[in-house]
Chain A
Amino acid sequence: QVQLVESGGGLVKPGGSLRLSCEASGFTFSDHYMSWIRQAPGKGLEWVSYISSSGRTIYYADSVKGRFTISRDDAKNSVYLQMNSLRAEDTAVYFCARLLWFGGRNWFDPWGQGTMVTVSS
């Protein structure tokens, strides 16, 4: 079945770096856009970034622009989020999700189980 599994979360000090990975299975990964969405503890959902199927189109939320980099490796069916210059406000569960498009509309499905990132000294 279609599945996304994130990894790479953990505890990091402010100013540090972390690289999240998301491995996909059950679908043709190279055909699809992929995205990262985060959720701070007890808070709502915040879209972080997406990357097109070709890798040529990438967007970021302003809150992470210049610090985070999304990338993909179709040979490994994986999407990554390199996070640099981390701040306390980046503390969240990070979900990866497939971004589906049809008829000019798009939506996130499915989502991975999430990986927790804690930025604290």
Chain B
Amino acid sequence: DIQMTQSPSSLSASVGDRVSITCRASQTVSNSLNWYQQKPGKAPKILIKAASTLYSGVPSRFSGSGSGTDFTLTISSLQLEDFATYYCQQSYSTPYTFGQGTKVEIK
């Protein structure tokens, strides 16, 4: 199975900050890497597909980069509604696996 490791596990930031979350795969996943946002008590929503493609309706302050084993989700200017938990997920091979999550909290 492909293990996905996110860092950090949590971070505190202020509105307007630039925030980056990294995700590392235990073996190459090419660009088969997705990012999701989850707010408390809600279902996850997709932000980025195929490592760097911004999903329809997602604000342009979100961006994704990387390929192979190392990936980054960046929020260029953190907004109040962005405080949530973020998960990466590899879709390269089954079993599909998620990172452990990164909780973005208000400083």
* A46 / chain B contacts, CB cutoff of 8 Å: 98
Most B C-beta atoms less than 10 A away, residue of A47, A95, A107, A114: A107
Q: Are B49 and A112 in contact (CB under 8 A)?
A: no
CA distance A87 to B89 in the complex (A): 25
Contact of A109 among B55, B94, B95, B101 (CB under 8 A): B55
Q: Are B34 and A107 in contact (CB under 8 A)?
A: yes
Residues of A in contact, count (CB < 8 Å): 20
Decide if A45 is an interface residue (CB 8 Å cutoff): yes
Contacts A105-B31, A113-B43 given: A45-B91 contact, CB under 8 Å? no
CA distance A46 to B100 in the complex (A): 10
CA distance A59 to B1 in the complex (A): 14
Contact of A45 among B31, B45, B89 (CB under 8 A): B89
* B94 / chain A contacts, CB cutoff of 8 Å: 47, 50, 59
Residues of B in contact, count (CB < 8 Å): 25
In the complex, the chain A residue whose C-beta lies closest to that of B55 is: A109
CA distance A107 to B51 in the complex (A): 11
Q: Are B96 and A105 in contact (CB under 8 A)?
A: no
Decide if B44 is an interface residue (CB 8 Å cutoff): yes
Q: Are A111 and B43 in contact (CB under 8 A)?
A: yes
Decide if B19 is an interface residue (CB 8 Å cutoff): no
CA distance A47 to B97 in the complex (A): 7
CA distance A111 to B37 in the complex (A): 12
In the complex, the chain B residue whose C-beta lies closest to that of A101 is: B91
- A38-75 Cβ-contact flags toward B at 8 Å (1 or 0): 00000011110010000000010110000000000000
Q: Are A109 and B43 in contact (CB under 8 A)?
A: no
**A-B residue pairs, 4 tightest by C-beta:** A111-B43, A47-B96, A45-B98, A107-B49
A-B contact pairs, 30 of them (CB 8 A): A44-B87, A44-B99, A45-B89, A47-B94, A47-B95, A47-B96, A47-B98, A50-B94, A59-B94, A62-B1, A95-B43, A103-B50, A105-B31, A105-B32, A106-B32, A106-B91, A107-B34, A107-B50, A107-B89, A107-B91, A108-B34, A108-B36, A108-B44, A108-B46, A108-B89, A109-B45, A110-B45, A111-B43, A111-B45, A113-B42
